[in-house]
Amino acid sequence: MEFRHIEYFVRACGCRSLSEAAKNLFITQQALSRSIRLLERELGCALFERTARGITLTKPGQYLFNKFRPIVSGFHEAAAQATTQIGVSPHKRRLQFSSAPGIIRNLSPGLLLSFRERHPELEMDVLEMSDAQSELYIGADKTRFGLMTGPEWLHARKHGYIMIKTEPSYLLVHRDNPIANLPVVSLAALKNERVLAMNRKLYFQEVLNSAVAPYHFSIEPYFESGDVMELIELANRGVGVLPCIRQVYEESSLREAVLVPLAERTFDYCIAFIFQEYETLEITTKEFIWHTLESEHAQN
């Protein structure tokens, strides 16, 4: 009986369906169904009753939930505290991970501080890297993890992942651009626009071209940069259009540019933890992952 399966089961209880539970857990429905199925096979009984109105716990399921709920809620914090008390070496008390530029500020305010306050002995180190550098960093050690943005299909294709949050994308355009008067715009409109883009060290352009592929064209950026604020200023001056998220717009003092929602969801802005295998991550890492997920849930 793997703890991960128990953890998924406990966190799924109370949801109306496995699809809703999987969404709340930031995993695929197939992964959650497999975990539940393995538990049911090992225990020799059904844990959920599946009806047209949703899922409810069976008597064995309720018993298992009552037994494991307090264990799951306290396990990660207790384990991390225990490692400190028994005097493990300093590198075991370090939380180090990679992150693409700007991701941390798009998560819950005070996320790193609140986790640091729970573990004052912990040394935290965020390594700012491009997407490609982050994958090389994580690929060199199974205990490493990082933060990366991109649609879910990109994460699923490249590495293990746990989704944190997903936000719709917009097109930032100058107010004199005809697009600025539309209630929503299709990615197909980019064919005739000068597109501003993050540089090729990130997966921005790869994802953008995958998103416009159904319209049978590709995008060669008019200008690319590793500094999103530079791109925003260029869009504000009418040099080109920039696909971005609402938060980027709200954090900037723009007078000449407006946001127009993109019709397609294939270019959604998704933040995820990435790693080789969840089972090989250290206890402190797992606690930080769940601390982040719970902080995002509380904020929303």
Q: What is the pLDDT along the chain (300 residues), one digit of tens a residue?
A: 778 888 888 888 877 788 878 876 767 788 888 889 889 988 899 999 887 777 888 999 999 888 888 887 777 667 666 665 665 544 456 899 999 878 888 888 899 999 988 888 788 999 998 888 888 899 999 999 999 988 877 777 778 888 888 888 899 999 999 999 999 999 999 999 999 998 877 788 888 999 899 999 999 999 999 888 899 999 999 999 999 888 777 777 778 999 999 998 878 888 899 998 888 888 889 889 988 988 887 776
Which amino acid makes up residue 152? E
Which amino acid makes up residue 68? F
Which amino acid makes up residue 38? L
The CATH fold assigned to 170-267 is D-Maltodextrin-Binding Protein; domain 2 (3.40.190)
Nearest to 160 by CA among 82, 77, 276, 80: 276
Nearest to 111 by CA among 149, 150, 165, 167: 165
How far is it, in rounded angstroms, from Cα 100 to Cα 274? Answer: 12
**3-state SS class at 93:** helix
275 contacts: CB under 8 Å, gap ≥ 6: 138, 142, 144, 145, 146, 159, 160, 161, 281
How far is it, in rounded angstroms, from Cα 235 to Cα 242? Answer: 6
Every domain of the chain and the residues it spans: 3-87, 170-267
* C-alpha pair distances (Å), 40 with each of 35, 61, 64, 88: 9, 9, 11, 37
What is the pTM for the complete model shown?
Answer: 0.65
| CATH class of the structural domain 3-87 | mainly alpha
